[in-house]
Amino acid sequence: METKADDTHGSLILLKQGAEARVFDSTFLGRRSIVKERFSKKYRHPSLDSKLTLKRLNAEARCMTKARRLGVYTPILYAVDPVLHTLTFEYVEGSSVKDIFLEFGLHGVLEERLDDIAMQIGDAVGKLHDGGLIHGDLTTSNMLIRDGTNQLVLIDFGLSFTSTLPEDKAVDLYVLERALLSMHSSCGNVMDRILAAYRKSSKQWSSTLNKLAQEDDYGCGGLAKTFIQCMIQFKTFSPKTCLPLSDQTLHSTTLEEACIGPFMDLQLYNTHVKLLAFDLLSLTQNPSASNSSSDPISFSRNGTLLSRLETVGIVTSRELKPNKFLKFIVDDGTGCISCVLWLNHYNSPYFSRRNPSDVRLIASAADRFASEVKLGLVARVRGRITSYRGALQITVSDVVVERDPNAEILHWLDCLRLARQCYNVVPPRNK
């Protein structure tokens, strides 16, 4: 999108860019405004890409307008351009709820203000849900507090849709809960205050909060298989269960059976856990759980040590150093994860101790992975969680390019269900 001025818009100054859109600071008929451009995806057929982009653009505009009709403060929509695929709306002067919550207890952010914001969040979400509107990305980054009036303003309806199902409303609240636990644990029980306001605002709160609280029975498929493999690895099954399992056996074993056993701090240490990006970036760094020099650091979540990760997202950046490494970034919709795939197996001191035939196989696989990672593709990445210059990243062990258009959604569901049923369970202390 060009950044030249015209009769309607002033100059465009890029503020942010995500996997789906760019956000510009501009002016509209003399007023300061925000221009959101949904850019095309080169990996899609042009005619299909144009239809999908326009459909999502119109859906976002409709959802933002509907939210205002429901009594929720949103930026005023000025214009929709179906040719340039842009939305132009009001510039809201104020701070994000994320910044306010991060400053809680540090720069004069008082408990009373925290309570007021929590009440406004619960009230706004309750109005949305009673009107059959799901925000889809309820994080504190998408909430602003307008200067002067202290009104809560919801932004970014790019993932919004209409639904009256309690399950969809519960997922909306759960995304918010995860964002608060990941980024704002110092704010205490702010989610409880939000839910209290939600109950007052929503007439249909009972079914939604029941869905939010209930344990989801998800006893078959990939999720149960992940649990079972984890339990086998740490021998929390009986010897009979630890025998090689067929797909039929895995399919018939329930999640409750898989979760039986003493959950210790190392329960998931050698398992590729499924986490969203904002959960990964909130992990706590710890000393190594092993004595190996090749395993200098580890990370924890709620007292459970983690070392490996699986993520699914769109490849948004790619940097190749031949015979050295491939560095790429995966965006899963909640944040960006840096991934490093090493390509120096033949001259690495670590691999010099390995069997040459094994090294050739590993190097060949790495080269194949590197050739398949392309910009715009959806990739499933697994590897070790590492830290480089203070930033978390994945040292890649394998990559699969996903052809299923539902892969990202299914990964999100897996992450949410695993978090509720396993990752968020605090392991008991050894007495």
* Angle 314-284-196 from CA coordinates, rounded to 5°: 80
121 near 111, Cβ under 8 Å?
no
Mapped onto helix, strand or coil, the DSSP state of residue 38 is strand
Residue that is written with structure tokens 């029975």 in the block: 217
Q: Which of 121, 110, 123 is nearest to 145 (CA)?
A: 121
Residue that is written with structure tokens 């451009």 in the block: 37
Q: How many CB atoms lie within 10 A of CB 102?
A: 17
301 near 284, Cβ under 8 Å?
yes
How would you label 39-58 residue by residue, b for 16+ Cβ within 10 Å and e otherwise? bebeeeeeeeeeeebeebbe
CA–CA gap between residue 153 and residue 159 (Å, rounded): 17
Q: Which of 201, 160, 208, 129 is nearest to 59 (CA)?
A: 160
| Chain centroid offset of residue 9 CA | 33
Pairing of strands 133-134, 86-90: unpaired
> What are the residues facing 18 on neighbouring strands?
none
CA–CA gap between residue 252 and residue 150 (Å, rounded): 54
Find the helix or strand (DSSP H, E) in which 20 lies: none
CA–CA gap between residue 427 and residue 169 (Å, rounded): 29
Q: Which of 182, 188, 170 is nearest to 417 (CA)?
A: 170
223 near 184, Cβ under 8 Å?
no
Catalytic residues: 137
Dihedral sign for Cα 400, 406, 412, 415, please: negative
